[in-house]
Structure 1
């Protein structure tokens, strides 16, 4: 394929991929809705900052209304709640034999497959720490798990080709036949990360706080119970051990996983989640509905009650709407559910 890889969303995830690929000589074109960011990436270049590596790379970038042509490979890297809108804009630019790879958090592969077809959808799991700091600037806080796989479990030539591209950025990237196992694992970890954004404390402080442990464990257990009902066996990564949060597991392995997560997150320059930045810095809506809310909906279809997940969604909405502040008291509204 001679056409550029089209990256739709040049933020924390897409921007880093674009910068690494462009630096390696891979033809790349990024699309973003922030004009100042588009101008910076195409002009003086996108600056990748942080302890992993620092460099500046010019990456061609346009706004959606400026995009022309069709592309065989589109990497979708927008927030989960922006998926539907992005698909409506990008589909006319998807080549007849092309596909969309979801480099997002959540189960967006389901949404993409409904829109462009399951045979034109590839899944990916990313856990590296990154933040959009401002136009033309992205923090690369730490390396972490990167996984790619077809949603039907097959390994095709296109999957292998995209895996090789991901290895340019992350040499340890994994090619899997069970991408859903990683995506559901991330949902369990992600639910806990949303809880850490209920206060101004860092991820590490949250995972290391014994008083917050029961609520964090309870959230992960609700997700893992739902994953099991879906017939999925979630995979471990970066300190998150799904088996420790299964309904039949005791507290000891769950507490050990929290300790491992505290250690893992203590080693990154990204001290707080992107969820925290959405709430405290950028003052915008989070991905709580398509990441946490959707699990509660799936659980309900299986007859599984998820009081912690439902309360977490409500608390995040309260902060988004200015009805609550980010504090330890807000976090412990979750703890009250356990009483």
Structure 2
């Protein structure tokens, strides 16, 4: 397939690398410093079991998505509308758009803006940009994607590229499970600038995380969301499977960038208000991250 990655940051570059390595024609759309490094030296993936470079096309212009059969949409939640507007004039009508984003609303936001089929995905991967054109992988990498007419085709391509992929008839629940994990870790990692493994060893942190999770579960229940599996266990395991990972929110704050906190803990606060569910722990962390972000 010809595959375009819109928003080639840590997540987009990781999956773009895997698909290009499997033989697909991949083009990355990203920031100038990454594009320049990738065009000059190739895309580097530093994983736990290998460290490789691969030659792949990279552009700064959204027009690079033209002709793509599959678009991995990986922009920040804050840029969903602007990213969709940028690619819309260049997308083939039969292109598939796979939303690999944090939060639970992005696929619906994309469907309101694009005539193409949009598939939601819950993303479980620990990555960071270690430098221009250089992705560091800390662990995991699986996807849960929603059911659609093209899900089987997309899943087969991803699995063949070494990306474990499940198709779910409850992708909304999977997205909420990921959201709850993000709400438990992201703000705390951002405020402290600590990776997950060190974070959970600090006094009182696991109790605070339990409060955050309980609030999120209460909001989800009031919103009619069925969360799959044991969410408490899933949250606890993250500190083991991605001990060295810093939350994306922590990475954004460290670089002086705007975070996605409004779409994480902030979303829990807004939905809690609408559903008359108290969310004091999420409200406090949301406020602290906004204070740091606006400093």
Fold conserved between structures, TM > 0.5 = yes
Q: Cα–Cα, structure 1 residues 224 and 145, in superposed 2: closer, same or farther, change >3 Å? A: farther
Q: Which residue of 1 aligns with 2:85?
A: 88
Instruction: Kindly indicate whether residue 217 of structure 2 is the aligned counterpart of residue 217 of structure 1.
Output: no
Counterpart CA distance in 2 for 1:226 and 1:67 is 40
User: What SS class does the counterpart of residue 115 from structure 1 fall into?
Assistant: coil
CA offsets per residue over residues 199-250 of structure 1, 9 Å max, x none?
Answer: 13321122233512222111111111111122222124xxxx32x4xxxxxx
Counterpart CA distance in 1 for 2:253 and 2:234 is 27
Q: Cα–Cα, structure 1 residues 264 and 116, in superposed 2: closer, same or farther, change >3 Å? A: same
Choose from 121, 126, 131 the match for 1:129: 126
CA offsets per residue over residues 94-148 of structure 1, 9 Å max, x none?
Answer: 222223110111121121122125x721011111111012211110111243211
Contact residue 70 and residue 92 of structure 1 kept, 8 A = no
Contact residue 146 and residue 170 of structure 1 kept, 8 A = no
Give the 5 Å matches for 1:111-190.
111-116=109-114, 120-150=117-147, 155-156=148-149, 158-190=150-182
Deviation at 1:11, TM superposition (A): 1.1
User: What SS class does the counterpart of residue 178 from structure 2 fall into?
Assistant: helix
Counterpart CA distance in 2 for 1:233 and 1:112 is 23
Counterpart CA distance in 1 for 2:43 and 2:133 is 5
User: What SS class does the counterpart of residue 162 from structure 1 fall into?
Assistant: helix
Larger Rg: 1
Q: Cα–Cα, structure 1 residues 211 and 90, in superposed 2: closer, same or farther, change >3 Å? A: same
User: What SS class does the counterpart of residue 75 from structure 2 fall into?
Assistant: coil
Structure 1 residue runs without a partner (length 5+) = 245-255, 323-339
Structure 2 residue runs without a partner (length 5+) = none
RMSD: 2.1
Deviation at 1:65, TM superposition (A): 5.6
User: What SS class does the counterpart of residue 209 from structure 1 fall into?
Assistant: coil
CA offsets per residue over residues 161-191 of structure 1, 9 Å max, x none?
Answer: 1111221344532121211111000111100
User: What SS class does the counterpart of residue 208 from structure 2 fall into?
Assistant: helix
